[in-house]
Structure 1
C-alpha cells in the first residue's frame, strides 16, 4: 500500500469503526459456519485473522483454537474490536496487533490457520498480501478468504465498482472467482473449495456505515434507482416510493492450504 492510501484507510475506518463493530451482519452468517467446517479448527491451532475489522471473525473462532491474533491496519478499529470482544466475554486467547496485510509483522510459519473476511477489496496489492499469507502460514496450514464477488458481466461489474467507490473511497476493487483462484494458486496455495453466499444489505444502514452524509446517501440511492433493469435484477434491488430499501450482492468463500511439502519443479 502507498503511504497516502494507508492514511486514507486509517482515517476512513477510524471514523466509522463503531458502525462496523456494532453491525450484526458481520457477527454472524452462513459464511462463518462454512469457514469453520472447512478449516476444522482444533485447540492446537494458532489463527491469524487479517484485517479483522470489528473482531467478529476472531471472536467466532477463539473458542475453537489455541490462540488468535487479530490484526488490522487501523489502531482505533483494533481498540474498538478489543472493547467489543471484552464486552462479549468468554474468551481470553485473542491478542491484537496493528499490521499491514501486505507487510505482516510475523515470522514465517507462525500460524496454522488464517482468515481474512470482507477486507481484500481494500487492498491495493492483493497478490502481495497473498504472498504474505503464504509466508506466515506453516506448511500444511489452512486458509479461508471471504470477500465480495465481482460480477462476471462487465456492465454489472462496472456499476458495482462505481457504486462502492461512491460509498467508500478506500474501496479498490473486487475480483471474480476465476481471478481469485488464479491469484491464490500463483501465491503457492492449493485451492480446495469455493462457495458463493448471497448477502442482503439494508440500504440505509449499509450507506451510513461508511460515514456518508445525507446527500451522499441520496446520491447512492439515485444511482441504484437509475440503474438498468439487468442491474436491478442481479442485485435484487427492493424499492418503495423511490427509495432503495435493500439490495443483495454475493460473497465468495475460498478455502485453500499451503502444501505440506515443496512441490517438485518439472525439468
Structure 2
C-alpha cells in the first residue's frame, strides 16, 4: 500500500497512544507467558520488539534478556512507550527506535530474539515484514508472533473483517492458521509451534481504545447485536439490555526460528583403485 496509508497508521496510533498504554488487554495475558516459555530467553539474548505499541511486551521481556530494542512506526506511540517503561521502573536495558516493520533500520543478524504482538494485521505486506524479521535475526535466532486469528468459516471471517475495519480503518486483514504457516515457511523460517488462545474483550474499552466516538461505538454495538446466532456463538457475545458487554476472539501464537548455520563439511574425493 501507499505511503499515505502508513501516514494514516502513524496518525491513528499517535492519537490513541495513551489508550494503548493503559489497556489491560495489552498489559497482561497468558500469551506473553506462553511466548516466554517457547522462546526461552536468556541473559545473552538481544531482543527486537517490532511494533511495540505501548511497550508492554518490551517491558515483560526486559528482565529476561541482555537488552531490548522497542521499535514502532508511530513516533508518538514510541515516546509514550518510553515514558510508560520509565514510569514502571525496574529496567534500564530498553532502547527505542522509530522503524517500519517492512523496512527495519537494523543490520543483518543484529538480534537473537524477535517479538511482534497484536500488530501484523496492520501491515500492508506481511511477507515483506517476515523477510525483514528473517534478515535481522541471527542464525538460530527465535521469533514469536502473536496476532488476531482469522476464522476459517467465510461468514465469520467476513464479520470479523467488517468489525475490525469499522473500529480501526488502519486494520488491513488478519490471517488463518494455514495462511500464517505458509507465509512463515515461505520466509525460510523453521516453524516449530502454533498455538491458539482465546481472548475476552470488554467491549466498551476495546471499542473506545482506537478513539471511536459515541456514534461509532453504537454502530459497532448494533453490528454485534444483529449478528446471526452462529456468529454470536462463535464470538461468545455477552449482552445486557441491548448493549454488548464482552466478546471473545482467538489469538494465534507462532513460534519459529531462523535456521542455524550448517556446519561446513570438507568434501573429499575417493580415489578409484
Question: Do they superpose with TM above 0.5?
Answer: yes
Deviation at 1:262, TM superposition (A): 5.8
Q: 1:4: which partner in 2?
A: 4
Q: Name the counterpart of 1:83.
A: 83
CA deviation digits over 1:214-267, x for unaligned, max 9? 00000000000010000000000000111100000000000000000269xxxx
**1:106-137 per-position Cα deviation (integer Å, ceiling 9, x unaligned):** 00000000000000000010000000000000
Partner Cα separation in structure 1 for residue 56 and residue 92 of structure 2 = 15
Q: Provide Cα deviations, 1:67-100, integer angstroms capped at 9, x if missing partner.
A: 0000000000000000000010000000000000
Quote the residue 2:144 is aligned against.
144
Matched, 1:114 2:114: yes
- Provide the C-alpha distance between the structure 1 equivalents of 2:31 and 2:177, rounded to a whole number of angstroms: 16
Structure-2 residue corresponding to 1:212: 212
Partners of 1:29 and 1:192 in 2: CA distance: 22
In the alignment, the residues of structure 2 paired with residue 163 and residue 31 of structure 1 have an alpha-carbon distance, to the nearest angstrom, of: 23
**Are 2:264 and 1:253 equivalent residues in the alignment?**
no
Gaps of 5+ in 1: none
Counterpart residue number, 1:154: 154
1:25 offset after TM fit, Å? 1.3
Q: Secondary structure at the match of 1:143?
A: strand
1:49 aligns with 2:84: no
Q: Given the superposition, is the C-alpha separation of residues 262 and 124 from structure 1 closer, same or farther in structure 2, using an over 3 Å criterion?
A: farther
Instruction: Kindly indicate whether residue 89 of structure 2 is the aligned counterpart of residue 125 of structure 1.
Output: no
Give the Å deviation of 1:188.
Answer: 0.6
TM-score, normalised on structure 2? Answer: 0.95
Q: Following the alignment from structure 1 to structure 2, what is the Cα–Cα distance between the partners of residues 17 and 61?
A: 21
CA distance in structure 2 between the aligned counterparts of 1:44 and 1:181, rounded to whole angstroms:
29
Separation of aligned partners in 1, 2:67 and 2:211: 33
Aligned position for 1:40: 40
Instruction: Give distance in 1, aligned partners of 2:48 and 2:76.
Output: 19
Separation of aligned partners in 2, 1:231 and 1:25: 22
Segments of 4+ moved more than 4 angstroms: none
Q: In the comparison of the two structures, how many residue pairs are matched?
A: 264
Report the secondary structure of 2:16's partner residue.
helix
Q: Which residue does 1:242 correspond to in 2? A: 242
In structure 2, the residue corresponding to 1:212 is in which secondary structure?
A: coil
- RMSD in angstroms over aligned alpha carbons? 1.2
